[in-house]
Amino acid sequence: MSYWSYPSYWSYPLPFPLCPSIPYPLPLFCVTMKCMDGKDLAIGLDVNKIHHITDSLSTYLQGKERSLALSLISFFSRGHLLIEDLPGLGKTTLAIGIAKSLGLTFGRIQCTSDLLPTDITGLSIYNKTSGEFEFHPGPIFNNIVLCDEINRATPKTQSALLEAMEEKQVTIEGKTYKLPRLFCVIATQNPAEQFGTFPLPGSQLDRFMMKISIGYPSRQAEKEILKIGSKREDIYDIEPVVSQDEVSRIQEEISHSIHVSDKILEYTLSIIQETRTSEYLSAGLSTRGALTIVNTARTNAFFHDRNFVIPEDIRDLVEYTIPHRVIFREEYENLNKREIVRSIVDAVPTPL
């Protein structure tokens, strides 16, 4: 079966443009219903569920379609998400909406300077009746955990998240507790306020699969919001589109059914090498960053109803997966970091 096809053969609508950054038209890859084998058909049906999620949440998250799509890519890639933006733009609503539509539990942590690690992980409390200490789990034991204004927590409290984000477990009083199989941290921080904040260390930034901004809604979207008002309360009544078992199965399908060719791997390695030798950077991507590029590209391909990765799946996401993982030279710190990363990636020849 030839993988080349025309746009009219797409079986499902896309949640966002395949390559908005590419100015010239490209032939689209696709898997059509009439050519599908059993595995490809399953992929198509699951993609339809993903589109159902984006459609159902678009009513509550007007003007945030791109942010929603990126958040879902991060989640289904088994990663964590950092949202850096101003207050009042819908960061909490986005996190709640994803949790409810996927049938997952949701926990929220409001970070402050006096927040303790046990406020996140939980602690043991003495029970006078039984004469024993009983463990009371903290909000970290939910499927999706929103850490609001994470940079307001002290470094000691921030470090309580490190083991949880990487190992999906927490150690409390010498005992290790496993976190839910489906686990994702969505952290937010305000870029405009620096007073009373503690910048996240590089080791913790590297654990976030993506760093995104929601941005202001369009004029028309904001007009609709002003007409109907906030829908924050309504979002708690959203019926799940998929079950937890289906979410796990989709994650497994993305990991094992989306093919990454040697050409794509070589392209990824070239990008990584370019970041390590770039004049703009003092430190390039780590191996964890390389895995992030490949994993998010797989999910991006899946969301576009393909069972194989193309270069544009990588290029479309580099400005969200790379900038927070690399260290810029001091003289370039105040420049647009996404544009610098885009120029570095553009310098790498695209495989044919």
The CA-based angle 81-264-33, given to 5 degrees, is 85
Residue-wise pLDDT for 136-153, tens only, equals 999 999 999 999 999 999
Residue-wise pLDDT for 234-292, tens only, equals 788 888 888 999 999 999 999 999 999 999 999 999 999 999 999 999 999 999 999 99
Average pLDDT, the chain: 83
More confident residue, 253 or 48: 253
Spatial separation of the C-alpha atoms in residues 83 and 105, rounded to whole Å: 20
- The confidence score (pLDDT) of residue 198 equals 87
Q: Let me know: does 303 contact 46? Beta carbons within 8 Å.
A: no
List the alpha helices (DSSP H) in the chain: 38-58, 65-76, 91-101, 117-121, 155-167, 202-205, 219-228, 232-235, 244-257, 262-277, 287-303, 311-315, 318-321, 337-346
Residue 133 CA: distances (Å) to CA of 126, 127, 170, 179: 4, 6, 18, 20
- The confidence score (pLDDT) of residue 39 equals 52
User: pTM of the prediction?
Assistant: 0.83
Residue 341 CA: distances (Å) to CA of 88, 133, 174: 28, 51, 42
Closest CA to 260 of 293, 299, 309, 313: 309
Task: Give the mean model confidence (pLDDT) for residues 88-103.
Answer: 87
| Domains of the chain from N-terminus onward | 27-257 (3.40.50.300), 258-352 (1.10.8.80)
Residue-wise pLDDT for 209-243, tens only, equals 999 988 888 888 888 878 877 667 778 888 888 89
Check pLDDT > 90 for residue 162: no
Closest CA to 251 of 208, 290, 320, 298: 298
What proportion of the chain, given as a percentage, has pLDDT over 90? Answer: 50
Spatial separation of the C-alpha atoms in residues 255 and 277, rounded to whole Å: 30
Task: Give the mean model confidence (pLDDT) for residues 62-74.
Answer: 88
